[in-house]
């Protein structure tokens, strides 16, 4: 249960945000920005006349000194600034009786300014999927592991390398998170104009595909490096870095503060390493963050294509029944008279009078003049004059030859022949790539275009299902006709597979492809 002093202190700590919503907030923000800039120049204290000079330079207009003084007093009252007597310019006794003060940022006020700066940076961040960052992380991780394996640790070099690695990793994670958030808003069309989206959709999809490819290649390499690291040496290095950082902390009156600071820094370094490892290596049955990012990026591509189809459909003017009815309702509302509305009704729905009845002029005039005919029994009502043609032929339809039915048999035969040829090509391709046992990747003969496409799809499925640290993997094609088993070879050399579409280079593997339909 929270005590009353703690509650009062918490409420008081939030008062430092009051200047952001108070009247005259623009002046408060300008003043605090000047204090932050002065502190970055190692100028801790500012006088009101210094602020007046900077405000005139910044705003270009003269500001009344009383307004600035009142703003400073308000900021002191909210806790953003600290005021202290200014005795540096006292030359005579009368100066002691004048109100002279120095102002500096309080600890709470500085924290608020850092929060506002972070807010502004996050608000303007677009985010990115940085494929280059993956290369930097792999290179930095190799350097860190090489330094950790040394018997005598070079703590200075190790700290620089590990700090650069964690900063690059944090930058990658934060930018990826920001990019996926903006990508989802793009898919929902909540934060982007349709014209802008249509202009860069192709570049966006190519960007996603390029990053997915880089992540698929680099992610397992980084995971392998992390799995190969010796945890004992890592713990030793992190403990040494924590002790080194703790020695640089300013002294405190509490003797146990140094020990507690060392433990806190050790936990901080351990969390950084654990976060890096969890981002690329699956743990406790949970997929790694890199795999989740790859799956999210893969799912975003068809979602973007759906948005493209929806935007194109909207631009082409295609309408559905609901939009047609809404438009028709607008026309009914805008019609000048009921006669116009009746004409619109007949034109829209075709609900004319009975077509098998023909009314002559005399009958129509009788209906117009005889208001008393309403409710009269049909036997007592005037007769209806039926057209002789209807009486004789029982139809008003036009006589003549019916429309000819188009013969589609030739088209159907051509489609059937094409489907048969494609099935034969795929069957022949399955025979070409079937290995009938495990062979080396280098032993695969030259493949034609169809066989190479099928082989490349199988190889891609196998590489995607391969988890970090595993030497072999197996999977089945999406149609269930082929099965591939891929096994890593130690010290594998780079091999080349020549096809009609080019040359495929990659490390040698043991590969076993089976045709399940044969």
CATH 1.20.58 location in the chain: 125-313
Phi-psi region of 394 (alpha: psi -120 to 50; beta: other; left: phi over 0): left
Residue stretches of the chain with pLDDT short of 50: 1-11, 97, 253, 356
The enclosing H or E element of 160 equals helix 155-188
Coil, strand or helix at 156: helix
pLDDT of 318 reads 54
Q: HSE-up of 31 (CA within 13 Å, CB side)?
A: 33
Q: How many helices (H) and strands (E) does the chain have?
A: 17, 8
Which helix H or strand E contains 126, and what residues bound it?
none
SS3 call for 507: strand
pLDDT of residue 249: 65
Residue 476, pLDDT score: 83
User: Is residue 476 a contact partner of residue 507, using CB atoms and an 8 Å limit?
Assistant: no
CA-to-CA distance for 428 and 441, rounded, in angstroms? 20
In the chain, % of residues over pLDDT 90 = 2
Interatomic CA distance for residues 149 and 151, integer angstroms: 6
Classify 100 as helix, strand or coil. Answer: coil
Distances (CA, A) of 229 to 140, 148, 170, 234: 14, 9, 20, 8
- Side-chain half-sphere of 240: how many Cα atoms within 13 Å? 18
pLDDT at 388: 67
* CATH fold group of domain 4-120: Arc Repressor Mutant, subunit A (1.10.10)
125-313: CATH number? 1.20.58
For CATH 1.10.10.10, the residue range(s) in the chain are 4-120
Predicted pLDDT at 33: 82
Give residue 1's pLDDT.
40
Average pLDDT, the chain: 76
Residue 265 near residue 242, CB atoms below 8 Å: yes
The whole-number pLDDT of residue 9 equals: 44
Task: Supply the pLDDT for residue 10.
Answer: 47
Separation of alpha carbons 398 and 215, rounded Å = 70
């Amino acid at each position: 249960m929270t005590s009353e002093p703690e509650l009062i202190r918490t409420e008081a700590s939030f008062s430092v945000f009051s200047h952001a919503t108070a009247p005259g907030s623009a002046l408060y923000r300008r003043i605090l920005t000047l204090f932050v800039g002065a502190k970055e120049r190692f100028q801790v204290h500012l006088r009101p006349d210094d602020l007046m000079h900077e405000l005139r330079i910044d705003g270009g207009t003269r500001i009344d000194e009383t307004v600035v003084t009142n703003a400073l007093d308000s900021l002191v009252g909210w806790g953003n600034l600290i005021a202290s007597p200014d005795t540096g310019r006292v030359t005579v006794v009368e100066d002691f009786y004048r109100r002279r003060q120095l102002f500096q940022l309080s600890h709470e006020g500085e924290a608020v300014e850092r929060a506002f700066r972070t807010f502004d940076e996050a608000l303007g961040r677009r985010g990115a999927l940085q494929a280059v960052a993956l290369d930097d992380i792999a290179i930095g991780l190799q350097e860190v592991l090489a330094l950790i394996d040394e018997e005598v640790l070079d703590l200075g070099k190790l700290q620089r390398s590990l700090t650069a690695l964690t900063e690059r990793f944090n930058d990658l994670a934060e930018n990826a998170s920001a990019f996926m958030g903006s990508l989802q808003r793009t898919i929902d069309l909540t934060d982007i104009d349709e014209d802008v989206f249509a202009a860069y959709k192709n570049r966006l999809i190519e960007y996603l595909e390029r990053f997915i490819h880089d992540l698929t290649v680099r992610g397992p390499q980084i995971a392998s490096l992390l799995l190969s690291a010796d945890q004992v040496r890592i713990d030793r290095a992190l403990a040494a870095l924590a002790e080194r950082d703790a020695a640089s902390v300013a002294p405190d009156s509490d003797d146990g503060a140094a020990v507690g600071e060392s433990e806190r820094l050790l936990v901080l370094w351990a969390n950084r390493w654990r976060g890096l490892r969890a981002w690329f290596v699956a743990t406790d049955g949970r997929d790694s963050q890199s795999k989740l990012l790859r799956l999210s990026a893969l799912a975003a591509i068809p979602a973007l294509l759906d948005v493209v189809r929806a935007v194109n459909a909207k631009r082409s003017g295609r309408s559905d029944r609901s939009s047609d009815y809404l438009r028709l309702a607008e026309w009914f509302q805008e019609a000048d008279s009921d006669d116009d509305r009746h004409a619109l009704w007949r034109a829209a729905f075709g609900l004319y009078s009975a077509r098998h009845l023909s009314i002559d002029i005399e009958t129509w005039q009788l209906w117009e003049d005889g208001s008393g005919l309403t409710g009269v029994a049909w036997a007592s009502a005037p007769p209806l004059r039926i057209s002789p043609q209807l009486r004789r032929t029982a139809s008003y339809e036009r006589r003549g030859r019916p429309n000819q039915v188009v013969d589609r048999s030739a088209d159907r035969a051509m489609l059937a022949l094409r489907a048969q040829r494609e099935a034969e090509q795929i069957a022949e391709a399955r025979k070409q790539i079937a290995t009938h046992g495990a062979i080396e990747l280098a032993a695969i003969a030259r493949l034609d275009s169809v066989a190479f496409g099928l082989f490349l799809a199988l190889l891609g499925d196998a590489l995607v299902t391969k988890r970090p640290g595993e030497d072999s993997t197996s999977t089945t094609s999406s149609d269930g006709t082929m099965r591939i088993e891929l096994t890593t070879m130690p010290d594998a050399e780079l091999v080349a597979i020549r096809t009609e579409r080019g040359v495929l280079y990659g490390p040698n593997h043991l590969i076993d492809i089976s045709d399940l339909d044969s």
